[in-house]
Structure formats: C-alpha cells, structure tokens
Amino acid sequence: MIQTVEAVVDASGKVRLLGEVSVPGPRRALVTVLEEPAVVPGQAALLAEAALADDWSRPEEEAAWSHLQPGT
C-alpha cells in the first residue's frame, strides 16, 4: 500500500517525518522537496497563545470549562 506523509528536510539533508508510517520491512521511498519553507507543527498555536491568554483567563471562561478540570 502506498502511503503519503508530510516530512521536513533540514539544511543538512536529514528527513524528519511528521506523521506515522507503518511498513512490514524496508521499503523504497520518494522524497519531493517543495518550495515552501517548513512550518513547525504547533507553531500557529504557540503564536496565538499570547493573544488569547487574556480571554482564556477570564472568570467566565474558567467557569465554563471547570467541568473538565480534575478534582472539580
């Protein structure tokens, strides 16, 4: 079965897979290097965190999500 998974190639040429691949043994693979720079997984969430922190910390938000907190 052919599988496709996103990867990042660093400046030294090392390939890091960003997803899981399941194969029963060694397999051939093709790597296509795209023109777009790599995006660090979760980077958008980290950048948005500071902007949303004020909203997340409001008492109304704490009350709304309190049922998901352990021990409450």
Comparing CA positions, the residue from 44, 4, 54, 11 lying closest to residue 62 is 54
Q: d(Cα 69, Cα 5) in Å, to the nearest integer? A: 35
Q: Which residues pair with 42 in a beta bridge?
A: none
d(C-alpha 51, C-alpha 48), whole Å: 5
1-39 tens-digit pLDDT: 888 888 888 889 999 888 888 999 999 999 898 888 877
**pTM (2 decimals)?**
0.48
Domain boundaries, the chain: 7-68
pLDDT digit string, tens, across residues 42-58: 666 666 777 777 777 88
pLDDT given at position 54: 76
Q: Which helix (H) or strand (E) holds 16?
A: strand 15-17
Q: Token match 């709304």: residue?
A: 64
